[in-house]
Amino acid sequence: MAFILGIFDTGNYDAWKQMFDTDPAGRAQSGTGHRVFRGVDNPNQVFVGVEFPSVEDAKSFQERLIASGAMDNVTVEAQPTIVELVDETTY
């Protein structure tokens, strides 16, 4: 299992969310799910995590995401980074 995590300032969350929901990079093609978090102090700041079955699927999506131009209208605070889950606990 692998994830892509990114942090963006959207400038306008509602407009960004409409674009995100159109899935311009095709995350549904290879991803297994996603989570979007909004900043409490800045609701235009979003933290996005997309889950993939493999690192290879995450890398393929990362290439499509960059090529799609989907990040052209946001301030990228942290480039979409591929990570692997190494520890998880629920309480």
- 21 DSSP 8-state letter: H
Phi, psi (rounded to 5 degrees) for 78: -145, 120
Q: Where are the domains of the chain?
A: 2-36+55-84
| Whole-number pLDDT of residue 28 | 93
Q: What is the pTM of this model?
A: 0.90
Tens-level pLDDT at each residue, the chain (91 residues): 999 999 999 999 999 999 999 999 999 999 999 999 999 999 999 999 999 999 999 999 999 999 999 999 899 999 999 999 999 999 9
Query: Is residue 19 a contact partner of residue 70, using CB atoms and an 8 Å limit?
Result: yes
